[in-house]
Amino acid sequence: MVFTCALIGIALFLCVHFDRIPFVGDLTGPDQLLTLVIGAMLLTGSLAVWAIKTLYVVGREQRWSWKIAAVPVAVLAALIVGWAVEPAGFDSARQSMEART
């Protein structure tokens, strides 16, 4: 559940970053704001639950599981993708717009 909510929050952030949401189309300013707020709430909630569960497992039970590292690895991978891949700009869409006219 925590990992799924984190992935949905990450996906929403990346959709706003690349300005493409598969089921909506072009995003307006309010759409981007609403999407960012929903993504931030999901990501913040899931990371808070992850931190509490991690502290409980590592602190009280004193054991380690690779499942604990799944959420931070997904967040770091999304950060790397967001920084490494530039969103499509006007120049990339220019040919398709000129073809329509």
Would you list the domain boundaries of the chain? 2-83
Give the pLDDT score at 49.
92
Q: Measuring CA to CA, which residue among 6, 18, 35 is closest to residue 92? A: 18
One pLDDT digit (tens) per residue for the chain, 101 residues: 888 999 999 998 888 888 877 776 677 888 889 889 999 999 999 999 999 988 888 888 777 777 888 888 998 999 898 888 877 666 656 666 666 65
pLDDT at 10: 92
Identify the pLDDT of residue 8: 92
Give CA torsion, residues 39, 66, 79, 89, to 10 deg: -80
Q: Where are the beta strands (DSSP E) in 12-56?
A: none
pLDDT at 97: 60
- The rounded distance, in Å, linking the Cα atoms of 3 and 71 is 6
| Alpha carbons 24 and 22: distance in angstroms, whole number | 6
